[in-house]
């Protein structure tokens, strides 16, 4: 048999009207970003990638990788020349 408990008492609270949040300053009322906002984001990403590339080239690991790529290019050119000589060109 269920325990008879008194019904819950009503909560005394203020009803707040549902207000739509205002869009961010770089967006219009439909949620579309402004062209200035998009341009700034693209320029920021481009600057970040340039900085990352510059740092990669300035580190020892970056230089080592560049040297390895150059060595592979020299080896590929030498192998191509060897194949051409063997074909009589």
pLDDT digits 0-9 by tens, 39-81: 999 999 999 999 998 887 777 777 788 788 899 999 999 999 9
Is residue 54 within a helix (H) or strand (E), and if so which, with residue range?
Answer: helix 35-58
* CA dihedral (62, 64, 68, 71) positive or negative: positive
Question: Cα(53)–Cα(13) distance, rounded to whole angstroms?
Answer: 58
Percent of the chain residues topping a pLDDT of 90: 43
Question: Cα(80)–Cα(27) distance, rounded to whole angstroms?
Answer: 56
Question: Cα(72)–Cα(63) distance, rounded to whole angstroms?
Answer: 14
pLDDT at site 49: 95
Average pLDDT of span 7-25: 76
pTM value is 0.44
Question: Cα(46)–Cα(76) distance, rounded to whole angstroms?
Answer: 33
């Amino acid at each position: 048999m269920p325990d008879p408990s008194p019904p819950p008492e009503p909560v005394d609270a203020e009803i707040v009207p549902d207000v739509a949040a205002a869009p961010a300053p770089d967006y219009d009322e439909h949620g579309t970003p402004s062209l200035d906002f998009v341009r700034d984001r693209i320029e920021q990403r481009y600057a970040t990638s340039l900085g990352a590339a510059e740092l990669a080239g300035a580190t020892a690991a970056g230089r080592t990788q560049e040297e390895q790529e150059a060595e592979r290019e020299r080896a590929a050119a030498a192998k191509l020349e060897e194949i051409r000589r063997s074909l009589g060109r």
